[in-house]
Every structure is written in C-alpha cells, then in structure tokens.
Amino acid sequence: MSVKVNIAPFLTHLTADHELVEVNGGTVGQCLDGLVEEYPGIREWLFAKNGKLNNVIEIYVNAESSYPDELTKPVNDGDELQIVIMIVGG
C-alpha cells in the first residue's frame, strides 16, 4: 500500500524539509517503520523506548485518530497519515 505521511512542521527538519513523505505498508506501524528507515532522526519523537508510540503522539488516518489500535491499524492504498502531538495542559 502506498500511503502519504503528513509531517508536522516541528518535525520537518528531520525529513529534509519534506512536508509529505510517501511510504509503503499495510498498517500504521509498517508505514512509520518505513518513515523511520528513510529518516532515522524522527524515531525518538515517534516512539518510546519500549517500541510503543510515544505517549504524546497520535497518528490520524484520513483525519481520524488511529487510537487505540495505533500501530496495528490497517491502512489502504492512498490513505493519508498525519502525525499529531498532544501538548496541552496547565
């Protein structure tokens, strides 16, 4: 499956300034693995040390949250992923 990943502006310095990266994979996890393979620097933002998605990161698939499936959520050809970061509070 060919999937587009919409890179958040705060991460584009890790993707050679690309805002949209095309990757292949059948699940969100496989797509992110592809992204990390191409741009290894993005790993520490996306993943915790235990290999799970970072606790402040959510991945949206076609404008809908992939939580709770997250990395195992299937994706289809032409889907668009978006990296969302939950930094809020006070």
Partner 1 sequence: MALNRKIAYIDLSSGKVETKPISMEMRKKYLGGRGLDAYLLYNNTKAGVDPLGPDNVCLVSAGILVGTLASATARTHIAGKSPLTGYFGSTNMGGFFAPEMRWAGFDHLVIRGKAEKPVYLWIHNGEIEIRDAKDIWGKGVRDTQSIIREEMGDREIKVMTIGIAGENLVRYANVMTEIKNSGGRTGMGALLGSKNLKAIAVRGTLDIKIEHPVEALEYNKQIISQITSAKVSQEQGRLGTLFIWGATNSQGLVRTRNFQLNQMEDSDGIEPETFEDSAFGMTGCFGCQVHCRAKYIIPDGDYKGTYDEGPEYTSIGAFAAEPGCTDLTTILTGNHLVNDYGMDTLEIGSMIAWAMELYEKGILTDKDTDGLDLSFGNEKAVIEMIHRIAHREGLGDILAEGPLRAAEKIGKDSIRYQVHVKGMSNLHSDERPTPALALGIATASRGSDHLRSRPAIDLYHLPEAVLRQIYSQPVAYEGPLTSDYTDYEGKSWQVFWQEMCYMAVDCLGICKYHTIFLGPNFPNFEEWSKLLYYNTGLELTPLEIWTIAERTNDLERMFNLREGLARSDDWLVDAYFDEPTKLGIPLIRDRVIDRDKFKQMIDEFYAFHGWDEQGKLKPETLKRLGLDKEPSHLL
Beta carbons within 10 angstroms of residue 77's beta carbon = 9
Give Cα separations from 68 to 2, 11, 16, 32, 73 (angstroms). 23, 23, 30, 16, 9
Question: Which listed range, 8-16, 21-29, 31-39, 71-79, lies at the site for partner 1 (CB under 8 A)?
Answer: 8-16
Q: Which of 50, 51, 77, 89 binds partner 1 (CB under 8 A)?
A: 89
Residue 65 engages partner 1 in binding (rule: CB under 8 A)? yes
Phi, psi (rounded to 5 degrees) for 14: -100, -5
Site residues (vs partner 1, CB under 8 A): 6, 8-10, 12-13, 54-56, 58, 60, 63, 65, 67-68, 82-90
